[in-house]
Amino acid sequence: MEKNRLEAFSDGVLAIIITIMVLELKVPSGAGLQALKPMAPVFLSYLLSFIYVGIYWNNHHHLFQSTRRVTGGILWANLNLLFWLSLFPFATAWVGGNHLAPIPTALYGGVLLLAAMAYYLLQSRIIAQQGPNSLLAAAVGRDLKGKVSLALYLISIAAACWHPWIATTLHVTVACIWLVPDRRIERALHHRQES
């Protein structure tokens, strides 16, 4: 199967996720800058989630630039990823409305963990379909960055129960790790074009 419909559908879902998240930002009742102060946790959680959605969109784009065809397994793995990403608005609103509360922070970390696992599964399905010598397999290699991210998410979930600010710091750290698009795939694509 061609990949164009999968990419278009995924782009649409991610756009809707961002739209839902921004609609959760309620306009303050006052007209002064002081009215914005109570909204800081909500806005910061929105900002972090917006960055995460952007990271997934960017890396999803790179992932499918290295993919020629999709199978049913890849379609289902992609839907699995979109399901976990679709929970971002809920998790974002809950953690933002209850800034640094243990359970919402742990749930936010759980959603981040499950989305990362779903991305890893999607990446694995593509590699399985294209073979161990594929462009994506060569670009990803041992995927240390992905495995470190999963470990940090697990630690953040545990930390949220005792020190939610540590969990939030870990969430920001993982976002910073992935903020730059996955250069491994870009390099592999560039190398393929030069060959």
pLDDT, tens only, 128-174 = 998 888 888 888 888 888 999 999 999 999 999 999 999 999 999 99
Which is more confident, 53 or 132? 53
Can you give the pTM of this predicted structure?
A: 0.90
**165-to-101, 106, 109, 161, 183 alpha-carbon distances in Å:** 9, 11, 12, 10, 30
Residue 47 gets the label, from left (phi > 0), alpha (psi -120 to 50) or beta, of: alpha
Chain segment 106-123, per-residue pLDDT in tens: 999 999 999 999 999 999
* Distance (Å) of CA 17 to CA 1, 24, 58, 81: 26, 11, 15, 13
Higher local confidence (pLDDT), 195 or 103: 103
Average pLDDT (67-77) is 93
Cα gap 145→148, rounded to integer Å: 5
Phi/psi at 31 (nearest 5 deg)? -100, -10
